[in-house]
Amino acid sequence: MAQQARFISVVLLFVTLAAGFMLGMAWDTRRPAQTGTAEVVAIQTPDVEETQEDAEQGDTERERGPVIYEVVMQPEQRAAVDEIIVHFRSSMDALREAARRDYDRERMDLLMATQDSIKAVLNADQIAEYDSLLAARYSPDRGERGDSRRDGSDDERPGEGEAR
């Protein structure tokens, strides 16, 4: 009986592995068509500088390139469009950063209000215990996420059973 269970487990393991491999192969065969389109646009737009962040962004527009590059233009028009696109991208990056700062501030305000509301229903001993648990869970030297946070702040997510 145990031998049969082991055999079935091994067979299921290999079936799962094979299915994952086949799914990966199917995914890879789908990608060249998308990449081919991006390469054609990249060949058509050689003088647009793309930063490493732009390349890592991976959004659809940047994979294909702006639609304007499908229009045949004179070199001076192309240079002007390139300058406009570069300005647009830097403005969007600044907008994203501002939105991220605003979000982080609002999130922290909401978190602090939630923790204050929770403390309002606790007695002094429970508040002290709650504060020590928060400090232990979210201290910078806890080793889970450490300094990998983008803004360097502590991760103050509510735990299980706390308000979300």
Share above pLDDT 90 across residues of the chain, in percent, rounded to a whole number = 38
> What pLDDT does 5 receive?
83
Note the pLDDT of residue 56. 53
pTM of the predicted model, to two decimals? 0.40
Cα 99 from Cα 115, distance rounded (Å): 24
Q: What's the pLDDT tens digit per position in 69-122?
A: 899 999 999 999 999 999 999 999 999 999 999 999 999 999 999 999 999 999
Mean pLDDT over residues 34-39, rounded?
41
pLDDT of 24: 80
As a whole number of angstroms, the distance between CA 50 and CA 141 comes to: 37
- Stated as kind and residue range, the H or E segment containing 52 is helix 52-57
Determine the pLDDT at residue 14. Answer: 83
